[in-house]
Structures are given as structure tokens and as C-alpha cells.
Amino acid sequence: MYATMSERPAGKAMTRPRVSVRPGSRGVAESTKPDLRRVFELQGVGVTYSGVAAVREVSMDIYENEVTALIGPSGCGKSTLIRCLNRMNDLVADCEVVGKLHYQGEDLYGPNVDPVQVRKLIGMVFQKPNPFPKSIRDNVAFGPKMIGQEGDLDEVVERALRGAALWDEVKDRLDKSAFGLSGGQQQRLCIARCIAVEPEVILMDEPCSALDPISTGRIEDLMLELKEHYSIVIVTHNMQQAARVSDRTAFLMVEQSPDERASWGRVVEYDLTGKIFTNPADQRTEDYVSGKVG
């Protein structure tokens, strides 16, 4: 299956007009958006669980209104890394994040930064759809209610569901349980729930890994629409998906200590998606995206 993968995503990415594949160039993406703003700046970011390194020395910038994909084999720390970006790792006991991780110029892990406030601006969609055991309406209205939004939440709910391309499918059953939806609908509900609180960034941790190809396609279309208003970071196992939806791709790999006792994830290469898939600078990236390894 990897053989076809190596050809198709590259071909698809090439047809995307915004992505240039010329090495050394920032690409058309920059020319259409002259003031490309950095949302996240990572410099030497490392994560340890109980002192054991999971990710080391990650340095990358993530830009506004782009889809940034993190790809790589299992255990390379993609999920760990994305969970640093809205401080979900704070929930894991003994998890420590080192290095510089700035959000719009402010230290995300600064002493006066409340992780709750962080998560209001930086939402997250998880691998497995996790609707709340409530009605569809209450699922979407929950976030706005919790941040103290009052008044007509029906409008907020409708806007969020439309934004997640789910409104037409659920408008007649808003008060029914969210568990009655299909997996793909549940995941779009989670996206609606996320955009209802009007974040600036949406993090997606393998959002389609539990979905069938048609639902996956819907969510990918949605991502391309959403990036007009939000910056999106997505972790994916699916290289085709990264090629289809992302503007930039970071390839992570597992690195081993010389004595092979410890291993951790590290970013091998980070560049425009077109370049990563057609003309990667690193041999290891090329081996991975062409399906020779992994």
C-alpha cells in the first residue's frame, strides 16, 4: 500500500496551486499572504515523562491560517508534541516540558499563564470522537456556557454546527443524544464543539484514524475551509492525508541513544508539504514518505 502512497500524495500536492516545490523558496503560500504570522515558535522543546525523554530538541515555527501536519512512525512523539501546544500534558503527572514554546510571542509555559486560558484559545480534537453524554445541542453549547457566554446560545450552536458542516444532518435532532450519531458525525460534532468557543488554533490529534474514507474526506474538506479562520495543527499517520490537507509538514522519527537503552522522538525535517513529499532534504524523510521504511 505504501507504493501507491508514495506517488499519489505527491501528485496531489503538486496540483495544489499554493504550494511551491522549489527548494529554498517559501513558496506561493507566502506571496498570497505577505505577512505570514507565526502562531507558535518552538525552540529546543523537549518533553519528559518521569524524567524519561519522549521528545527532544524540537525547533519549528507554526504559521497562522495554515494547516501544519506532524507525521512520523508510531512512538515518535507526535501526539506528545501536539499536546504541549495547549498544555494538555499538564494533566499527565510527572510530565515536564523544557525549551522555549511561545504562542504569538508569549511564553506558553510562563509562570502567570493559566492552562485553562490557554485551552480557550487553542482547542483540540482527539483521535477517538469523544462527544459528551448529552444532547447534540448541549455538546456544542457546553464550551460557550463554561466561558460565561450568555444570551441566545441557539445561534452559537447553529453557527458552530454549520461551521463544522454538520447542521443539515442534525438540525432536526438537536435534542437527541450525541451518541446516536455516526463516528464521522461525532467527530464533526467535536469540531463544532471546539469552534463554538471561537479559538484561534485547532489542534487535531489523528482526527480521522477511527473513521471511514468518506467521513475522512468530509473532515479534510472541512479543514481546508477552517484554515481560512483558524490555524490548524494536525497529527496524522496517514501520509496521503498530510499531503492533501497541509501547507507544511514536519517529519518526526524515533532516535535511539548510542547504547540503545533509550529512545525519543525528534523532528527530522520541517518544510512546505510539497517539498517534503517531492524533494525532501533528508534521506530519512525520503525513505519514509516513499514507503521504503516505516
Partner 1 sequence: MRPGDPRTARAEVALASARGVGTEIFSSQPRADVIRAAAFSVALYAALALAVLGLAVLVLDNLIEGAPRLNPALLTNGTSSLPANAGLRSALIGTLWIIGFVIVLIVPLGVGAAVFLEEYAGSRSRVARLIELNVQNLAAVPSIIYGLLGLAFIARAPLNLGFVVLTASLTLALLVLPVVILVAREALRAVPGSVREGSLALGATKWQTIRHQVLPAAVPGIATGVILAISRAIGETAPLVPLGAATFVTFDPNGPFSRYTALPLQIFDWVKQPQAEFQTLAAAAIIVMLGLLLAMNSVAIWLRNRYERSW
Binding residues for partner 1, rule: CB under 8 A, are 86, 88, 91, 93, 116-117, 119-121, 123-124, 126, 128, 130-135, 142-143, 146-147, 177, 179, 190, 193-194, 197
Is 92 or 262 the residue whose CB approaches partner 1 more closely? Answer: 92
Which of 82/243 has CB closer to partner 1?
Answer: 82
Write down the least CB distance from residue 235 to partner 1, Å.
Answer: 14
Distance of CA 110 to the CA centre of its chain: 23
Nearest distance from C-beta of residue 190 to partner 1, angstroms: 7
Return d(Cα 13, Cα 240) in angstroms, integer.
Answer: 9
90-96 contact pairs (CB < 8 A, 24+): 90/115, 92/49, 94/49, 94/50, 94/51, 95/47, 95/48, 95/49, 96/47, 96/48, 96/51
- Residue 284 burial (10 A CB sphere; 0-12, 13-18, 19+): middle
The least distance separating partner 1 from the CB of residue 101, rounded to whole angstroms, comes to: 17
Nearest alpha carbon to residue 231 among 203, 251, 198: 203
Distance CA 113, CA 105 (A): 13
Nearest-approach distance from CB 178 to partner 1, in angstroms: 8
Q: State in angstroms the smallest separation of the CB of 197 from partner 1.
A: 6
Residue 138 CA to residue 143 CA, distance in Å, equals 9
Smallest CA-to-CA distance from 216 within 195, 237, 233 is with 237
CA–CA distance, 170 with 164 (Å, rounded to integer): 11
Between 197 and 272, whose beta carbon lies closer to partner 1? 197
In the complex, the smallest distance separating the C-beta of residue 263 from partner 1, rounded to whole angstroms, is 26
- d(C-alpha 234, C-alpha 161), whole Å: 21
State which residue, 52 or 147, has the beta carbon closest to partner 1. 147
For the CB of residue 145, give the shortest distance to partner 1 in the complex, in Å: 8
Taking the least distance from each CB to partner 1, the nearer of 9 and 143 is: 143
Cα separation of 48 and 69, whole Å?
A: 22
Judged by beta carbon, residue 188 or residue 275, the one nearer partner 1 is 188
**Per-residue DSSP letters for 156-169?**
HHHHHHHHTT-HHH
Q: Which is nearer to partner 1, 119 or 248 (CB)?
A: 119
